[in-house]
Amino acid sequence: MKKVLALLLVATMLLGAVAAFSSCAKKKDTFTVGVCQLVQHVALDAATQGFIDALKAEFGDKVEILEEKGDGTPATCTTIVNNFVSKKVDLIMANATPALQAAANATETIPVLGTSITEYGTALGIDNFSGVVGGNVSGTSDLAPLDEQAAMIKELFPDANKVSILFCTAEANSLYQVKVVKAELEKAGITVEECGFTDSNDVTVAAQKAAQADVIYIPTDNTCATCAGTIDGVIGNTPVIAGEEGICEVCGVATLSISYYDLGKTTGEMAVKILKGQAKVSEMKIEYAPAVKKFNATKCAQLGIDTAALATKGYTAITK
């Protein structure tokens, strides 16, 4: 009987060892991550770099990054993420709303993290969004307090009676920002004119129209970001309050903006937790970055705006 028990004990130990070995064998220590960035411009580039740096800091050479930049169209994003899915990547990072929408439509199993997304409920068609997307999607938001951005216009230009909002009508998150900021400005007694354009071919005409107001507001808008130089060339001396730093650096006076590098880094840290099995993407809340007030010293000098006065109000200069 003792002999039988001994044999059973040995068999149990061997089975346990096999199970442990099998478990270890299944545990991954190398990963492939696909990065789909809608288009190349300063803000999105910074977010992608922050994301990659966070992954490399944790995994080093054990993570392979497949980085693809689109041409600004949803169709190209769809092609990119479908390629990632066919390669069975371990995670997809989608930089900007059309990239996120493409990734969410392409897979229900591979974890997807968005970054540079203004409002996930709007981007993904979720009513009464609670802060958790669920399923295989989560990420970070670049949404700065829109009411405070609207208040900046009144603070810096108290005599302004008319504000134009310049934005791309094809970007869902821009439409969301326009709605909120317009309501805030109208509550303050300011007349608001929407100057929307469909794509980069129409931006010059829309910018010329916007320049007829006292102040222009440009939300966080990818098409405006890529066309910031064109906008600057046609608006003359009409001051711009921008929704993000990259646009402000080219054609704006001031902004209440987040750091896109830090936003991407936060997204990368979320990815690390998912890949290491420390968190489930379905349970991860959307994360945000703090916003800071900044001014474009060159543009302020051109328009005769006192930067010392801005500094006393908590603004800091944009540094390249």
Residue in the block written with tokens 């009676």: 161
Residues in the chain: 320
Pairing of strands 292-295, 254-257: antiparallel
Q: Is 197 helix (H, G, I), strand (E, B) or coil?
A: strand
Residue 19 pLDDT: 42
Residue 27 pLDDT: 65
Residue 5 pLDDT: 41
Tell me which CATH homologous superfamily contains domain 31-142+260-288. Response regulator (3.40.50.2300)
Residue in the block written with tokens 């402000």: 248
What stretch(es) of the chain map to CATH 3.40.50.2300? Answer: 31-142+260-288, 146-257+292-317
From residue 263, alpha-carbon distances to 45, 99, 139, 266 in Å are 11, 16, 10, 5
The answer to whether the beta carbons of residues 296 and 247 sit under 8 Å apart is no
Q: Is 264 helix (H, G, I), strand (E, B) or coil?
A: helix
Residue 291 pLDDT: 94
Taking only Cα atoms into account, the Rg of the chain, rounded to an integer number of angstroms, comes to 24
Structure tokens, 38: 């809608």
Torsions phi, psi for 231 (to 5 deg): -60, -45
Q: Is 182 helix (H, G, I), strand (E, B) or coil?
A: helix
Residue 28 pLDDT: 77
Residues 6+ positions from 155 with CB-CB distance below 8 Å? 313
Structure tokens, 176: 């969301």
Beta strands in the chain (DSSP E): 31-37, 63-69, 91-95, 112-117, 137-141, 162-168, 191-197, 215-218, 240-242, 254-257, 287-288, 292-295, 316-317
Helix H or strand E segment including 203:
helix 203-210
CATH architecture of 146-257+292-317: 3-Layer(aba) Sandwich (3.40)
Structure tokens, 223: 């098409």
Structure tokens, 147: 């009411």
Residue in the block written with tokens 């543009």: 299
Q: pLDDT digit of tens for each residue in the chain (320 aa)?
A: 444 444 444 444 444 444 433 333 346 789 999 999 999 999 999 999 999 999 999 999 999 999 999 999 999 999 999 999 999 999 999 999 999 999 999 999 999 999 999 999 999 999 999 999 999 999 999 999 999 999 999 999 999 999 999 999 999 999 999 999 999 999 999 999 999 999 999 999 999 999 999 999 999 999 999 999 999 999 999 999 999 999 999 999 999 999 999 999 999 999 999 999 999 999 999 999 899 999 999 999 999 999 999 999 999 999 86
